[in-house]
Amino acid sequence: MTEWAVELKDVRKTYRSGPIEVPALRGLSLQIAPGEFAATAGPSGSGKTTLLNIIGGLDRADTGEIWVAGQNLQLLSSSELAHLRLQRIGFVFQTYNLLPVLTALENAEFTLLLQGVPARERREKVEKLFLEIGLAGLEDRRPAELSGGQQQRVAVARAMVTQPALILADEPTANLDSATAIALLDVMEHLNRTTGTTFLFSTHDPQVMERAHRLIRLRDGQIASDEAHGKQGAAVRAERDAG
């Protein structure tokens, strides 16, 4: 039986503001296999953000089960969730969100530092990754001295450097021009292929949807469609179906 990278069972989440209730997820169930390169898409209010928040342990569901890296997030305390995020999940944000006071290298090694990895090992890992994703030579630059594409690649390096089981990327290409977005997708796809790390995006970008091996369309807090793309997508689909 397959151990899913992410598994959601009948997850419900409703936001409340006084007497007003806004259902964001309505009994959503989903499995994502290890190594998938998947994207969620859908109109605003369809539940993409809430879904990523809940999978990333940044928010809690009202009911249902959320399994990530073999752990039920609903049963974890806040500090246990923080530990899980640090050890097993990488985040790539729409607006990069690098710490402006740290250099590119320091930003990339931020999570390694929090994990207590020794200095030499940190530097080796970051430099190797920087070389791989085209950031070599930019280690000492602060975010303000980098282009949007370079900043987002540093953010990807920060997310990848700890070799997490899962990377959640919220509209990672939203602030990038088309050529830079393609280059970033190349980097992420390359990392997915070479490391086997699971990627889950939320996106409005047709390029991302096209490059994703699996596209999950959401509507009104439920899955409207779930399609495999390309050879890799078909292979993953076959494996999932077999599981």
Partner 1 sequence: MTSALLLVKISWRNLWRNPRGTLLTALALGLGLALLLISLGLLDGGHEQTIADGVRLGPGHVVIQAKGYQDTSSDELLLPAQVVSTVDGFLQTGAMKQVVRGVSPRLLATGLLSSSANAAGVRIMGVMPPAERAVSLIPQRMIQGTYLNDDKLSGVVIGDELARKLEVKIGSKVVLMTQALQQPGTETKKSGGEEMHSTLLRVSGIFRTGLQAFDANIIQLPLPAAQTLLGVADGQVTQVALLLEREGDALLVARALRKQLTGAPVEVLTWRESLPMLAQILGLDHAFNYVMNAVILAMVGLGILNTILMRVLERRYEFGVCKALGLRPGQLAVVVVGESLALTAISLALGLALGLSVQHYFATSGLDLRLVFRTGLPPALVFDPILYSRLTMNRIVWSVSIVFMMATIISFYPAFKAAQTELPDALKVL
Positions touching partner 1 (CB under 8 A) are 49, 52-53, 56, 58-59, 79, 82-83, 85-87, 91, 93-95, 97, 99-102, 106, 110-111, 113-114, 116, 119, 158, 168, 170-171
Of 149 and 172, CB closest to partner 1 = 172
Task: Give the distance from CA 228 to its chain's centroid.
Answer: 18
- Of 1 and 101, the one with the shorter C-beta distance to partner 1 is 101
Residue 27 burial (CB < 10 Å; 0-12/13-18/19+)?
Answer: middle
**Residue closer to partner 1, measured from CB, 218 or 236:** 218
Describe the chain by its helix, strand, coil percentages, rounded to 5. Answer: 40, 25, 30
Least distance in Å: CB of 58 to partner 1? 4
Return the biggest CA–CA distance within the chain. 55
CB of 55 to partner 1, least distance (A): 10
Residue 119 or 131: which CB sits closer to partner 1?
119
* CA proximity to 130, closest of 100, 150, 102, 101: 150
Least distance in Å: CB of 103 to partner 1? 10
| 209 three-class SS | helix
